[in-house]
Chains A and B, each alone.
Chain A
Amino acid sequence: MAKKITTAGIFTAVALILNYMEMLLPFNIGIPGIKPGLANLVVLLAIYLLPPAEAFAIAICRILLAGLFSGNGIALAFSLAGGLSSFFFMLACFKSNCFSPTGVSLAGGAVHNIAQFITALLLLQTQALLLYLPFLLLAGIAAGFCNGLLVVKLLSRLGKIHIF
């Protein structure tokens, strides 16, 4: 049990650090919500290396803690919508055994941004947002793809360490 909590804690901490690093990046192309989503990489690793319940705990702790730091309810709802839908979608893709980690990550990135887009549409009730949709989709695909390739590399390295 203690080992489980420690492992989950390390994953969550790394995810939070990546989250924070992303906030420091001057990454802005004039469209809200486009980010590399590096923290998602940790969640994907957890899906592959840990039991689903622990991976879920990491996904949700990361979002709640990051939300606590920013302290805004709506921003929290927004990241929950993206984070949880992409988690369950990635888990389903992983379980289906139809995709490599790159495909799973790709699906996760796209679903993450689609869910956030729908949340924004419901929240702001303006059609003007539709203009952003193709760019959000493309960003989700690109981020998911890059994260997926990184995860493949990381899995082959981490697979050699027998702590999981």
Chain B
Amino acid sequence: MKRNDFFLLLLLLLGTLAAFLLRPEPSTAKAEHIQVTVNGKMYGTWKLNTPQTITVSTPYGENVIRIQNGAAYVSKADCPSRDCMKLKPVTNSGDTIVCLPHKLVVEGKSKNGNGGIDTIAH
């Protein structure tokens, strides 16, 4: 390794540290509902306290979201890697599940929660 390599490594690690310190604080407040967006546009919201199965069918593909025990996760998807099915279920406000190939984001929201529609309603 050259000396420049070490400088580069140091620079990158500093950048990572900055990104870590500046990142939005992960919330510990339980989410009340989930908000599903597709391609940046609102698709719908669903209560987390009602067990249900939601099929999100869009031109990009299909994801089935399962809600039970106050948690939401992707139970079925027809995207290539199916990464979205392996992600941590949404329970807290601010938690997200992303299905990149389908441009789908599932985000946990609470009534007095962070950002989104609820804040505007105040």
A contacts, CB < 8 Å to B: 23, 28, 30-33, 70-72, 74-75, 78, 98-100, 102-103, 106-107, 110, 120, 123-131, 133-134, 137-138, 141, 145
| Complex partner residue of B84 from A32, A130, A133, CB under 8 angstroms | A32
Task: Name the prevailing secondary structure of the A interface residues.
Answer: helix
Determine the distance from Cα of A23 to Cα of B86 in the docked complex, in whole angstroms. Answer: 13
Do B101 and A72 touch (CB < 8 A)?
yes
Q: Min CB distance, B51 to chain A, in Å?
A: 23
| Complex partner residue of B87 from A32, A75, A141, CB under 8 angstroms | A32
Determine the distance from Cα of A129 to Cα of B98 in the docked complex, in whole angstroms. Answer: 9
Do A127 and B86 touch (CB < 8 A)?
no
With a cutoff of 8 Å between Cβ atoms, the chain A residues found around residue B16 in the complex are 134, 137-138, 141
| Given the contacts A103-B8, A124-B100, A75 and B2 also touching, CB distance less than 8 Å | no
Do A106 and B12 touch (CB < 8 A)?
yes
The yes or no answer to B118 lying at the interface (CB within 8 A) is no
Determine the distance from Cα of A133 to Cα of B20 in the docked complex, in whole angstroms. Answer: 8
Do B81 and A106 touch (CB < 8 A)?
no
| Given the contacts A32-B98, A134-B19, A110 and B12 also touching, CB distance less than 8 Å | yes
**Other contacts beyond A75-B79, A123-B100, A128-B94: 13, CB < 8 A:** A28-B83, A28-B86, A30-B88, A72-B101, A74-B60, A75-B100, A103-B2, A103-B8, A103-B9, A124-B98, A124-B105, A125-B40, A126-B96
Q: Min CB distance, B2 to chain A, in Å?
A: 5
With a cutoff of 8 Å between Cβ atoms, the chain A residues found around residue B83 in the complex are 28, 32-33
Do B103 and A123 touch (CB < 8 A)?
yes
Closest A residue to B38 using CB positions: A124
